[in-house]
Amino acid sequence: MRHLMSPLDLSVEELDRILDLANDIEADPGKYAHACEGKKLATLFYEPSTRTRLSFEAAMLNLGGSVLGFSSADSSSAAKGESVADTIRVISCYADIAAMRHPKEGAPLVAALHSRIPVINAGDGGHQHPTQTLTDLLTIRSLKGRLGNITIGLCGDLKFGRTVHSLINALVRYEGVRFILISPEELRIPDYVREDVLRRSGHEFKEVIRLEEALPELDILYMTRVQKERFFNEEDYVRMKDFYILDKAKMKLAGPDMMVLHPLPRVNEISVEVDADPRAAYFRQAQYGVYVRMALILTLLEVKVC
Ligand code: NCD
C-alpha cells in the first residue's frame, strides 16, 4: 500500500506516468467515468480549504466513486480530543483512500502509520503540499512542454509557504532548472530547504528582494500569498501582506512567454487586472488540479483503465 506525504515519495518515472495519465484523462474524461465505481474517498480536513478539498472530491466523483468527510476540526471528533491515529483507524473501515489536511507538520504521516488505506497529505502546516506540486508540474509541463531547462521565480512567503517547499523538492530532480527566490528578508526560504535541498542539488539559485529585478529573467513566476495563519502576531502579518503586488506595469518587465502561476487563494499579491493577460495561468492551473488528483487516486488504488 502506498501513501503520498512528499513529492519525493514518487520516483521521477512514476511522476511522469501520473502526469501522462492526467493528460490522457484531460483528453478523454469519458474513458475514466466509471473507473472507481464502488470506491470511497474520505476527505479529512482539519484546516480551511476550497480548491484542494473540492478538487479531490470532484476528482473522485469524476471517476464514478463517492466521497465522505469533514471540512473543519470543529465538526469532527478532534474537537472532543480524538487523536489522528484513532481517527484514521476508524476511517479505514469506512473508505478506500483518504486525503488529510492538518495544521500540524507530520500529522498525515502519523495517520499513514496507523492506516489500512492509502493516505494523501493534502497540506501539513508549513511543511509540504505534494498534490499542489503535482498540479504545478502538470501545468508547467502541459503549457511549457518541459520541466527541465527553466528559470522559475518563487515569490512571496517562502518561509511558511508549503507549496513552495514541495515544488522546490520536486524540481531539483530535473536538469537545468534555475531558481530565483524572491522574498522579504523575514520570509526567506527556511535553511533546511536552502541548504539541504537547493545547495545539495547543485542547481543554480539566488535570493533577491525586488520582484522587478527578477521578472525579465523568468520563464515562470510562482506567486504565493503571505500565510496569515502561520504568523505569531497580527502586526508582522500586516507589515508583510502587501510587500508584493503583481500588476500590469510589472508584467511589462516580463518576457512574452513568461507564465504566472499561483496555488490560490490570492489575496492582494496579483492585481485582478493581470487576470486578462494571456500569461496568467493560475485558473487553468486549478483545472489541472482535478486531472492530476484523478490520476493520483487511480495510481494509489491501483486501478487500471484500458
Ligand atoms: C495553498 C495551501 O493550502 O497551502 N492552497 C492550495 O492548496 N491551493 C496555498 C495557500 O493557502 O496559500
Q: Summarize pLDDT for 14-28 with one digit per residue, the tens.
A: 999 999 999 999 999
Q: Can you list the alpha helix ranges (DSSP code H) found in 47-83?
A: 51-62
| Predicted pLDDT of residue 75 | 84
Which residue out of 40, 53, 127, 129 is catalytically annotated? Answer: 129
Which residue out of 51, 144, 239, 266 is catalytically annotated? Answer: 51
Nearest-atom number in ligand 1 for the CA of 52 is 7
Q: What is the mean pLDDT of residues 187-215?
A: 97
Q: Is 53 in the pocket of ligand 1 (CB under 6 A)?
A: no
Radius of gyration, CA atoms only, the chain: 19
Tally of CA atoms within 13 A in the half-sphere of 53 that contains its CB: 17
Q: What is the mean pLDDT of residues 36-45?
A: 98
Tally of CA atoms within 13 A in the half-sphere of 177 that contains its CB: 23
Specify whether 51 is catalytic: yes
Distance 31 CA to ligand 1 centre (A): 30
Specify whether 139 is catalytic: no
Mean pLDDT over the full length of the chain? 97
Looking at the DSSP bridge assignments, the partners of residue 178 are 151
Determine what percent of the chain is predicted with pLDDT higher than 90. Answer: 96
Q: Is 115 in the pocket of ligand 1 (CB under 6 A)?
A: no
| Predicted pLDDT of residue 76 | 86
Task: Name the DSSP letter for residue 210.
Answer: -
| Predicted pLDDT of residue 173 | 97
Q: Which helix (H) or strand (E) holds 8?
A: none
Q: Is the pLDDT of residue 186 over 90?
A: yes
Residues of the chain with CATH 3.40.50.1370: 7-128+289-300, 130-286
Q: Is the pLDDT of residue 167 over 90?
A: yes
144 close to 118: Cβ distance less than 8 angstroms: no
Q: What is the mean pLDDT of residues 229-243?
A: 92
Q: What is the mean pLDDT of residues 54-81?
A: 94
Specify whether 129 is catalytic: yes
Q: Is the pLDDT of residue 232 over 90?
A: no
Task: Name the DSSP letter for residue 196.
Answer: I
Determine what percent of the chain is predicted with pLDDT higher than 70. Answer: 100
Q: Which fold has domain 130-286?
A: Rossmann fold (3.40.50)
| Predicted pLDDT of residue 77 | 87
Distance 227 CA to ligand 1 centre (A): 9
| Predicted pLDDT of residue 187 | 97
**Residue 140 grid cell:** 508547467
Residue pLDDT, tens place only, 250-272: 999 999 999 999 999 999 999 99
Looking at the DSSP bridge assignments, the partners of residue 4 are 120
Q: In what order do the strands lie in the sheet with 177-182?
A: 205-208, 177-182, 150-155, 220-223, 259-261
Distance 304 CA to ligand 1 centre (A): 30
Q: What is the mean pLDDT of residues 79-87?
A: 93
Which listed CATH number (3.40.50.1370, 3.40.50.2300, 3.40.50.150, 3.40.50.1970) goes with 7-128+289-300?
3.40.50.1370
Is the CA virtual torsion 242, 244, 247, 250 positive or negative?
positive
Residue pLDDT, tens place only, 103-161: 999 999 999 999 999 999 999 999 999 999 999 999 999 999 999 999 999 999 999 99
